[in-house]
Amino acid sequence: MNNVTPRYVSGIRPTGEIHLGNYLGAVRRWRSLEGVFFVADLHGLGGAVQETAESLSRCGVQNVVVESDHKADILELYHQLSFLTPTVLLGRMTQFKDKSASEMATLSLFAYPVLMAADIFYFGGTHIPVGSDQMQHIEFARDLWDVLRARGSTSFEKPEAVIGDSPRIMSLTDATRKMSKSDPDEMSRINVSDPPDVIRQKVRAAKTSMSMADDTPEANNLRTIYRAVGGTRVHERWPTFKAELVDLLIVELAA
């Protein structure tokens, strides 16, 4: 454990819309934390930077920062870190292993964990509130910190992930994949800005199993979302479950 005042640092890619996975997995917690929450617009080319920043502010997040406003400093640190980063650490990353065989894979797929570590170090993060899919990246930043430490002193704090019981939300159309901004299918995700009728439409269309008792990925995902927005009741049938889920989501996302 760090023996310093926690400083929470976390980021989100500038895809404009914040979806329920981002919100329940990470952004909802950012509202009550002291620190820096940034739009990670150096982690890609282009993007809807202003929309994402506004969307974060509308979610109640304070201290929203745009990463590229600190471009020179962060990229300089990234450059310095690149001389100290053992490539074996990067080669272990799941994202890289999963996608590196594709012709679309670029150098950034390999190197972006270093940029993420540079963000954390630059913004002085001690505690990193992220969704569980980011655990490995924080582990990488910690390993890199150990490397810096072994090579001499470092003025950075060693960061630690703060995941708690934040849920991993899966796609509404394919519950074997996480809900993601990159999914071309709009019906796969609920956005925090979706109006009530769109939320209703998406929840109604979400695949379910035959029986409420079934232990399928789709059913478990809906139950996870239900609990995360405060649902406690036991329903006999999917339609009444979904109706209550829609009500809870509308209240949660309007808050």
Footprint of ligand ATP on this chain (CB under 6 A)? 10, 12-13, 15, 21-22, 25-26, 130-131, 133-134, 168-169, 178-182
Position of minimal CB gap to ligand ATP: 25
Query: CB of residue 181 vs ligand ATP: minimum separation in angstroms?
Result: 4
For the record, the structure tokens of 156 come out as: 């950075």
Residues 6+ apart with CB under 8 A from 208: 218, 219, 222, 238, 242
Q: Give the nearer residue to ligand ATP in terms of CB position, either 163 or 248.
A: 163
Q: Give the nearer residue to ligand ATP in terms of CB position, either 21 or 125.
A: 21
For the record, the structure tokens of 196 come out as: 């009530």
Q: Give the nearer residue to ligand ATP in terms of CB position, either 148 or 169.
A: 169
Query: CB of residue 170 vs ligand ATP: minimum separation in angstroms?
Result: 7
Query: CB of residue 110 vs ligand ATP: minimum separation in angstroms?
Result: 16
The Cα–Cα gap between 21 and 180 comes to 7
The Cα–Cα gap between 183 and 191 comes to 12
DSSP one-letter code for 236: S
The Cα–Cα gap between 224 and 204 comes to 16
Query: CB of residue 151 vs ligand ATP: minimum separation in angstroms?
Result: 29
Q: Give the nearer residue to ligand ATP in terms of CB position, either 148 or 245.
A: 245
Q: Within 13 A of 138's CA, how many CA atoms are on the CB side?
A: 22
Tracing tokens 């109706």 back to the chain, one arrives at 243
Residues 6+ apart with CB under 8 A from 106: none
Residues 6+ apart with CB under 8 A from 200: 246
Q: Give the nearer residue to ligand ATP in terms of CB position, either 44 or 86.
A: 44
Query: CB of residue 240 vs ligand ATP: minimum separation in angstroms?
Result: 26
Q: Give the nearer residue to ligand ATP in terms of CB position, either 99 or 181.
A: 181
The Cα–Cα gap between 195 and 186 comes to 14
Query: CB of residue 232 vs ligand ATP: minimum separation in angstroms?
Result: 21
